[in-house]
C-alpha cells in the first residue's frame, strides 16, 4: 500500500468491526509488533486508515459508526 500511495494512487485500509462493545481499533502489538510498525509507517506515508462498526446480516452490511484508530 505504501508503494501504491508513493506512485500517486489513493490507498486505504478499512477495518470492519462487528463487536458492539468496541469503541476504537488498535493493533495487537503484543501478538504482531511488525504489523503495528508497518501500519504506522503506512499511515505516515499517506495511506488512509479507517475503522467502522458494521452489522452483517443475510440482507447485507450496515455501517453505522466510525471508530477512532489508536496507534
- The correct CATH number of 2-70 out of 3.40.1350.60, 3.30.2130.10, 3.40.50.10210, 3.40.50.300 is 3.40.1350.60
User: pLDDT at position 44, please?
Assistant: 97
CB atoms within 10 A of CB 18: 10
Q: 24-53 pLDDT, tens per residue?
A: 999 999 999 999 999 999 999 999 999 999
Cβ atoms of 1 and 13 within 8 Å: the answer is yes
User: Would the CA dihedral through 67, 2, 36, 18 be positive or negative?
Assistant: positive
Domain ranges for the chain: 2-70
d(CA 46, CA 62): 27
pLDDT at 12: 97
Q: Per-residue pLDDT averaged across 5-16, rounded?
A: 97
At 14 the pLDDT is: 97
Strand order in the sheet with 60-67: 12-17, 48-57, 60-67
Amino acid at each position: 500500500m505504501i508503494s501504491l500511495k508513493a506512485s500517486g494512487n489513493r490507498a486505504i485500509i478499512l477495518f470492519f468491526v462487528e463487536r458492539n462493545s468496541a469503541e476504537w481499533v488498535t493493533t495487537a502489538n503484543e501478538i504482531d509488533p511488525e504489523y503495528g510498525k508497518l501500519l504506522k509507517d503506512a499511515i505516515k506515508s499517506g495511506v488512509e486508515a479507517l475503522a467502522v462498526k458494521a452489522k452483517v446480516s443475510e440482507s447485507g452490511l450496515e455501517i453505522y459508526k466510525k471508530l477512532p484508530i489508536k496507534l
